[in-house]
Structure 1
Amino acid sequence: MEVEVNPVVIIGAGPQGLAAAAHLLERGLEPLILESGDCPAAAVVEWGHVRLFSPWSELIDPAARRLLELTGWSAPESGYPTGAEWVEEYLAPLAEELGDSVRYGSRVVGVGRKGRDLSVDDGRAKQPFVVHVHRADGAEERIEAQAVVDASGTWRTPSPAGAEGLPALGEHAAVVAGLLDHRTPGRDEAAELEGKHVVVVGSGHSAATAIVDLATVVRREPDTRVTWALRRGAVGNAFGGGSADELPERGALGQRAKKAVEDGLVDLVTGFRTEQVLVEDGRAVLASEDGRRLAPADRVVVATGFRPDLSFLSEVRLDLDVRLQAPTKLAADVDPNLHSCGSVRATGAADLAHPEPGFYIVGAKSYGRAPTFLAMTGYEQVRSVVAELTGDHEAAERVELELPDTGVCGGSGLFDAPEQASSGGCCAPAPQLVQIGTRTDG
């Protein structure tokens, strides 16, 4: 029986997956997008209450814009949308225009080469990819493709509270008890925490967003208590670049979190590396490796970043950095241990290539565990990758994006040396508070 081989299968109908499809259509190829959720950008829908720190002009892919404008669609011209607005006004219309190219309720559980497991060299590159899919109706499917673009993101694989990158003892039990969540609360949910004690674990933009929203609750109801627990015992480039950040809303978020601490609305605990989460009398108690315990909490918000799900790629030959789980050629530019002043550079097909020809990881997942991803970074990635897949090597090598400066200096500093980690690195001295850096536009 003859099996149809799709030109390109895209995993994930998020911002980068949909953009990749628009670029493929523009170049005359029919994409097939496999989305595990029941709607476009299902992950973005889950954090729809969060306002992005990129303006509309940086959240719309150029090829997607051209495709939509043919239908009479007009792009929003100004402002900073929430995730829900991003979906409603751009991503959902784009998915609708892509029509049957998007299959919902289709979870990819494996990718490999037809008739070849990971160890087989002979004839490998000549075989199509085989994508194994579990559908929402319980059926299983094998789909063949000439190329695969993994744009599945990292939202489904949040990092745990445990300091070793593994769940703390009792973390799962606290989740089951409804006391611990790996998602930041929306404003309505934050309002329901009035008069309670909330612990936020993490040092990124997700944590900062939670702190800002919870500080509003404390202002309204002073009996509310918020504790912010950070692993690093130092200050570092604590609250971002402030006014030096070329994304003003990104800089402003850090400054609002900083003010919440300075105004005494949030108790800051540094050098707290969670070892155990105990459930006592219906509340959660976090214990650190050094024996400290936080006061019993009614809710623990774990905002420690995200990591790529590589489980369904075990039969694909990948070249990943051992620390970040990002493509090796990309890792040095996004490594938070090393990253210094200025912006990270735009990345394209050459940076994202793996030993498996025709396979690419794009979007937030391409950054592995690094926290610096922006939507427009992903749009440049898919432009370059699609150009490479269609044989336009000159366009693939060309860089068509200049990323904004973060305004942040130095790497993250030494983990256990406050006096060194608080150094401002190559630029001005860093503000004397605490390290932040994880939510993205991905």
Structure 2
Amino acid sequence: MVAFIDGCRYSPFIDQRLCLQGVPMSSTSAPSPVVIVGAGPIGLAAAAHAHVRGLPAIVLEAGASVGAAVRAWGHVRLFSPWAELVDPAAADLLLADGWVRPEATDYPTGAEWAERYLEPLTRSLVATGAIEVRLGHRVTGVARRGRDRLVDSGRDEADFSVHVEGPDGPLVIEARAVIDASGTWGDPNPLGAEGLPALGELAHGDRITYGIPDLADPATRQRYAGRHVAVAGTGASAQNTLVGLADLARAEPGTRVTWLVRRGETATAFGGGDADQLEARGALGTRARRAVESGTVQTLTGFRTVGLEPDPGANGTLRLVALDGRHVDGIDEIVVVTGFRPDLTWLSEVRLDLDPVLSAPRQLAPLIDPNVHSCGTVYPHGAAELTQPESGLYLAGMKSYGRATSFLALTGFEQVRSIVAAIAGDHAAAARVELVLPETGVCGGSGLYDGLPADDAGGCCGPTPASPELITLGTRSAGGCG
């Protein structure tokens, strides 16, 4: 079986690498493979489970390396330890190849997660001869073979056609099932409070960073040192950013930080502290709270950005304008850490049943919806909650959470274990979802609009809710949480 690694075509049978990237394998007799979109932690875990089940699989990765999205925030240290970042089936495969498991209680950076786990896992998967990993292959569409979305006849019996743009041009891969584990990293939410770019946001894009800046990098540090930086967002990525910029402000005179919070208060923005069973996550929230309370960070609550424009009072800086008419002047740089959203455009010719709010599978959405708001852990789930009207198509990993941010790697590993079991026809195993997750101790946002007191929110932080309380995860976004 041929795979693609590091931009080259690789065959474990002849121990030879040929730089003919993008040339598809073809066989008229072999069964159609499972196609897995995304070579990140969840996609590669799905491939490991496919190997265990004896299912041939092709992993398609748009980036130039496995874990491309993880590497993009590789400077950020996760708040999950190694014990929670390795899929069990993947571990078995790696250990059989002589892999040395990292210390279970250590906390890796994103770069270390990719280098010490995803890269060796890819080599082990390829060496099985049953798994292909193709880099630089971007999926542009998925459909039922010979049918658009309107055609009913023979739909469930037909394979999928996966349309791909590879290094050598377009190709189509036939698949028995498709697992979309492509994540959400490439589609950050905008600064604009309405879910659309604020007026002037695109025009001033060179002054905006979407994600946690690497302040250990000299060039990045110089970009923010001595400047007035606005930070928008309230999740763990925002906490990371506030802590880093507050440290920079203490070291570099003239550095100013303004924190823009859409909610009317910040009481729930720092997580559970000592109540969080994920010690590193609780510690991060505590450090962020201290940074804000130290006076290094100026906080503006209820600030919903609708516009960016040149500051009329200062050359070269920006003015941020809020919906209520308030404005912040003299802004040099903006860091937007407001979460991500799934790209559903290339799934337009398959039949989906997604929640209208989160764009998550409809059966999963009530368990993770921040508008419902609850504390604790998400109810264990697998193929049953992730199944779509298009039989054999599954959204997994961060993609399955839509716009919700409370995703855990452990959740994704369990998702793909159940999904692959369902694809293999082992429905008992698919239904036997067993997952124990750490309590978050977090009372997060509940979809509040400006000025509504937290006590009126319901959920575990307010009065007894009118409807049964749902259990959800604490915030853990792709941009540096784990």
In structure 2, distance between residues paired with 1:278 and 1:286: 7
SS of 1:126's equivalent in the other structure is: coil
Q: How far, CA to CA, are the matches of 2:141 and 2:63 in structure 1?
A: 17
Q: Which amino acid aligns with 1:184?
A: I
Q: Distance in 2 between matches of 1:25 and 1:32?
A: 11
CA RMSD of aligned residues (A): 1.9
The one-letter amino acid of 1:127's match is A
2:264 to 214, 233, 238: 233
Gaps of 5+ in 1: 430-435
User: Which of 83, 92, 96 is matched with 1:70 structurally?
Assistant: 96
Deviation string, structure 1 residues 218-275 (Cα, Å, up to 9, x no partner) = 1112421011101111235221111111111111111111100100111111111110
Do residues 286 (structure 1) and 320 (structure 2) align?
A: yes
Specify whether residues 372 and 437 from structure 1 end up closer, same or farther in structure 2 by C-alpha distance, changes over 3 A only: closer
User: How big is each residue's C-alpha offset from its partner over 1:283-318, in whole Å with a ceiling of 9 and x where there is no partner?
Assistant: 232111111111222210111100000000001111
> 2:262·2:450 contact (CA, 8 Å) conserved in 1?
no
Tell me which residue corresponds to 1:107: 138
* Contact in 1 for aligned 2:149/2:351 (Cα 8 Å): yes
Aligned with residue 66 of structure 2, among 12, 31, 40? 40
Correspondent of 1:407 among 420, 435, 441: 441
Equivalence map 1:350-365=2 (5 Å): 350-365=384-399
> Which of 6, 19, 25 is residue 45 of structure 2 equivalent to?
19
- Indicate if the aligned counterparts of 1:409 and 1:426 stay in contact, CA closer than 8 A: yes
> Are the aligned partners of 1:353 and 1:359 in contact in 2 as well (CA < 8 Å)?
yes
Q: 1:413, 1:130 → 2: CA distance?
A: 39
Kindly report which structure 2 residues correspond to 1:222-301, keeping only aligned pairs within 5 A, or say none. 222-280=253-311, 281-301=315-335
Q: Distance in 2 between matches of 1:424 and 1:241?
A: 17
Partner Cα distance (1:424, 1:56) in 2: 35
- Alignment check: 8 A CA contact 1:237 1:422 kept: no
CA contact (8 A) 1:236 1:424 kept: no
- Indicate the residue corresponding to 1:315 in structure 2: 349
* Equivalent-residue separation in structure 2 for 1:424 and 1:224 (angstroms): 39
Counterpart in the other structure of 1:61: 87
Deviation digits for residues 362-415 of structure 1 (CA, Å, limit 9, x no counterpart): 000100000100111100000000111111111111122111111023752632
User: One-letter code of the match for 1:338?
Assistant: V
2:477 to 426, 439, 442: 439
- Give the AA of the match of 1:276: G
> Displacement, 1:188?
2.5
Q: What's the % identity of the aligned pairs?
A: 56
Partner Cα separation in structure 1 for residue 243 and residue 406 of structure 2:
20
**Aligned residue type for 1:395:** A
Equivalent runs, 1:89-238 vs 2, <5 Å? 89-99=116-126, 101-137=132-168, 139-175=169-205, 178-189=206-217, 191-192=221-222, 193-238=224-269
Give the superposition deviation at 1:206: 1.1
Structure 2 unaligned segments of length 5 or more: list them: 1-26, 464-473
Question: Structure 2 residue aligned with 1:79, among 93, 106, 125?
Answer: 106
Instruction: Find the residue that maps to 2:64 and give its secondary structure.
Output: coil
- With structure 1 as the length reference, what TM-score do the two structures score? 0.94
TM-aligned CA deviation for residue 191 of structure 1: 2.5
Alpha-carbon contact 1:6-1:144 (below 8 Å) kept: yes
User: In 2, distance between residues paired with 1:15 and 1:48?
Assistant: 13
Aligned partner of 1:6 among 5, 28, 32: 32
Cα deviation, residue 44, structure 1? 0.4
1:345/1:402 contact within 8 Å kept: no
Count of matched residue positions in the alignment of Structure 1 and Structure 2: 433
Secondary structure of the 1:110 match is strand
Query: Post-superposition shift, 1:7?
Result: 2.3
TM-score, normalisation: structure 2:
0.86
1:388 aligns with 2:418: no
Provide the secondary structure at the position in 2 that maps to 1:187. Answer: coil
Corresponding residue SS for 1:13: coil
- Does 139-148 or 284-293 show the bigger shift? 284-293
